Amino acid sequence: MKHLSSIRSLKRLSVIVAMSVIAVPSLMAQTSNPRGLYRLTEIVHQDGKHLETDYRQYRYCQDNSTIVLTYRPIDNIEKSFNVQITSPDGKPLTLTGELSKTENKGTQIIGTSDSTFTYRWYNDQNNSDERLFPYQTNIDEEYMLVKDSTDAIQRVLNLLQMKFGTKQHRIQGIWKQRGIQQTNDANSQYWIQRGRVDTYLILGECEAVVVISMPGSPAPHLQCFYTPCSILSDHAFEYDGKASIVHWFDGETISVTAINNDGRPYVTVWDRCGMPQNIQDVFGTNTPQMKKDISRFFVDEFVKKYGNQSDAVRQAYETFDFAIDANEQNNAIFPILMRSGFEDEYKALKDSLMARLMRGEINIDDAVGQYVFWFYKNFDRHTNCSSQRFYKLRSEAFVNYEKLIPQYAPEPVGCKVDDETYLLRLPSSMGDKPTWEWTQKKAEEFKQSGCQYLILDLRGNHGGSDAFGEIFAKMMCDCSAMNDEQSFYRSSTLNNERLKKICSVYSYMNHILTEALSTEEGALINWHTTLKGTDKYTPLVRKGAIIIDNYSASAGESPVRFVRNYSKKHATVYGRERTNGCELSGNCNTIRLPHSNLSLTYPMTVDAAFEEACKEREPGHKPDVIIPLPYPEQLTDNIDPWVLWVAKKMKK
C-alpha cells in the first residue's frame, strides 16, 4: 500500500496551489456560472505572455463549493500518480465579468464560452515562482470543461464520488485504515498501531485511490494516490503493481497483507467507513460513518487501560475478547437476548470476567468457560465451548445418568412391548446408530404390526437430523399446525462461509445464501416458516407417547415440539426432567479461539419461540406427565420399567 512518502513530491505543489487560489471572492452573481470539471490549459500574464505549467490543475465547480485538484503530468493514464485536493475558500465560482486587466479587483471570473472561463487573480505575495506568477500583477488562468471520460482527474473524481458502476465484488467501496497490525498477523485485528493521519482506500473494479485527509483543516484538504488495480477475487487484488491478500474478519473489517519496498510482508487493518462529512458534502456522497467501537484493538488503548503487559497476558486478552466478539457477532440467539432485557446483566458479566483475567485472578480457560456457561445454563445448550472450566460447570448443572443408572447406554430398539404397544428407542439421530435405513424399516414394521399404541423413547438422544424422530412423531399427530412456526438465520461473514459449505451439499438452500450475502452483517433472515393451518396429519395410533430425559437434545427433543403443535389428543410426553434445551436453535458453527486450544460452538439459527422461552431462563421441554418410578437399573436394548409403566398408563 502507498505510504506517506509517496506523496512528498506534492510539497512544492502545495505552495503553487496556495498561490494560485489566494483571492477575495466577488459578491456579484450571474446565471451562467462554471459548473463541472475544468482543466487549466494555460496561464496568461498581464503583459500578454502565455505559459504552460509543469503541473496539471483542475477546478471542480459545483453550486455550493469549488475544489482544486493538482498533479504532476504523466505519460499515460494507466500509471499511478499523486493528486492534491484543496478547497481554498469553500465557495462556488460566480461569474463577475471582466473588471480590470491591470488593477487588483480581487477574483474575476470571466466566461469566455459555454465550455471555458478565465480565473483572474492578483498576486500580492512575493514568495511565489516569479516565472509563473509575477509579483503584484493580475494572473489569468484559462480553463476548459473536461468532456473526456478517460481523463486522469475525471477518473479520480469518479472514485471520490463513489461512481463504480455495477458492483462486481464485495470488497469494492471505501475503507478506512485502522492501522498497522504490529504482530504481522493477518488473522488478528488486535495490536493495531494507529496511523498519524486518517487514510482511506477507495476500491473500484479496475482502479483505486488512497485518500489522506489532512488534519486540522475545516475545509476539504486531501492528498491522494491514484493507481490502476485489479480485483482478482474477494480475497485478493493487485494494487500499484503488487499483489495484496485480503482476510475478512466480518463484512465490515478486513486485513490486507502486502509487500513493502524492502520485499517484506506487512499487514494493515481496514474498516468500512465513509470519509468525513465535510468531504462527502463536496463530492455528493453519503457513505455511512463507522459506528462500532474499535478502541479495544489499539495498542495504546490497551496500555492506557491495563499498562504494559507480558505477551502471555496480551494473548489472554485477545483470546477472551475474540470469544466475546465472535459470540456477539455470529450467535443467532445473542441479539434476541439483548432485546429481551438481559443486556445489563450480560455486560456486567463480561466486564467482570475481563477485569479478573487482567488482574490474574482467573486464567483464560476459566474466563471463557464462565462466559459461555452463562448462555448455556440459562438459555441455549447449543452455545458451548471446549474449556475445562465449562465442562465442570456443565457436569454440575445436569443429571448424571451414568451415576443414577448403573447401565446407561441406550441402544436402538424396535419391537413390541405387548400385543398392542410398539417401542421405538432412538438413542441417536446422527444416522449411524441407528441408520436411516434401519429407522425406515422399523417405521414400516410398526405400520404392519397392528399395534394401536406407539412409544418413542428419546432418552440419551443428543441430536442429529430431525427426520429420524419426526417419522414416528407424525404418526401421533391429528391436526394441522396449531401455531405459526418460524426460524431465523443470522447472516455474518463467518456464518455465510459455513452456509456456503452446507449449500454445496443441499442446493435447495441456495436462496438463503443469496439473501444472506446481500443483507447487512448480523441481520436475522428467514430460515424456515410453517404457517398455522398447514400440513394436516391423520393419526396412525390410538395413543402415542414420547419418553424424554435431560440428555434428549436438539433433534432428540424436536419431536416434543412437533407433537405439541400437531397433536391435540394423541400424544403425551413422559419423563422426570426437562429435555436438554437446544431445540430452539440449531445449525451450529465451531471456531477456534486464537492463542489457545479452545473452541467456541454457537447456533447460526434460532426459532421465533426463543424470544419468549428465554425469559424463563430454564431451557428445554418439560414432560406432560412425571414418571413416578425410580430410575431403572438398566437402559440399553431392554424394555425397562419406565416403558412398561408408560405402556400401561397409555391404555387408561
pLDDT tens-digit series, residues 200-230:
999 998 999 999 987 655 566 899 999 999 9
Q: Report domain extents, the chain.
A: 4-153, 162-297, 401-650
3-state secondary structure of 498: helix
When pLDDT is cut at 50, 70 and 90, the band that residue 13 belongs to is very low
Handedness of CA 161, 162, 166, 168 (dihedral sign): positive
Q: Is the pLDDT of residue 249 over 80?
A: yes
Alpha carbon distance 362, 378 (integer Å): 22
**The pLDDT of residue 466:** 92
pLDDT of amino acid 412: 97
- Position 240 scores a pLDDT of 82
In this structure, which amino acid lies at residue 608?
Answer: A
pLDDT (tens digit, 9 = 90+) per residue, 363-405?
999 999 999 999 999 999 999 999 999 999 999 988 999 999 9
Mean pLDDT of 601-610: 97
What pLDDT is attached to residue 32? 79
Q: Please write down the HEC assignment for all residues of 31-51.
A: CCCCCEEEEEEEEEECCCCEE
Q: Which CATH class is domain 401-650?
A: alpha beta
Residues 58-75, mean pLDDT to the nearest whole number? 88
pLDDT interval class at 448 (50, 70, 90): very high
The DSSP annotation for 564-626 comes to: HHH-SSSEEEEESS---S-TTEEEEEEEEPTTSS-EEEEEEEEETTHHHHGGGT--SPPPSEE
Return d(Cα 648, Cα 638) in angstroms, integer. 17
Q: What is the pLDDT of residue 219?
A: 61
Grid cell in block for residue 435: 441408520
Res 220: pLDDT: 66
Q: What percent of the chain has pLDDT over 70?
A: 93
Is residue 290 packed enough to be buried (19+ CB in 10 Å), middle (13-18) or exposed (0-12)?
Answer: middle
What is the mean predicted confidence (pLDDT) over 296-315? 95
**Choice among 45-49, 129-133, 430-434, 632-636 with the minimum mean pLDDT:** 129-133
- Mean pLDDT throughout 106-133? 88
Angle between helices 311-330 and 364-378 in degrees, nearest 10: 20
Closest CA relative to residue 383, chosen from 615, 596, 580, 611:
580
Choose between 31 and 392: higher pLDDT.
392
Between these two residues, 6 and 520, which has the higher pLDDT value? 520
Cell of 300: 495504546
C-alpha cell at 559: 419431536
If pLDDT is split at 50, 70 and 90, which confidence band does 20 have?
Answer: very low
Enumerate the β-bridge partners of residue 39.
58, 144
Indicate the class that CATH gives domain 162-297.
mainly beta
Q: What letter does residue 464 receive in the DSSP assignment?
A: B
Res 260: pLDDT: 87
The chain-wide mean pLDDT, for the chain, equals 91
Whole-model pTM over 0.75: yes
State the SS3 of 203-232.
Answer: ECCCEEEEEEECCCCCCCEEEEEEEEEEEE
pLDDT above 70: residue 511? yes
Mean pLDDT on 534-546? 96
CB-based contacts of 518: which residues, under 8 Å, 6+ apart? Answer: none
Distances from the Cα of 25 to the Cαs of 95, 105, 323, 641, in angstroms? 10, 10, 57, 98
Picking from 350, 598, 600, 339, the residue whose alpha carbon sits closest to that of residue 494 is 600
* pLDDT-above-90 percentage for the chain: 79
Which burial class, exposed, middle or buried, applies to 420 when counting CB atoms under 10 A from its CB (0-12, 13-18, 19+)? middle
The pLDDT of 508-531, averaged and rounded, is: 94
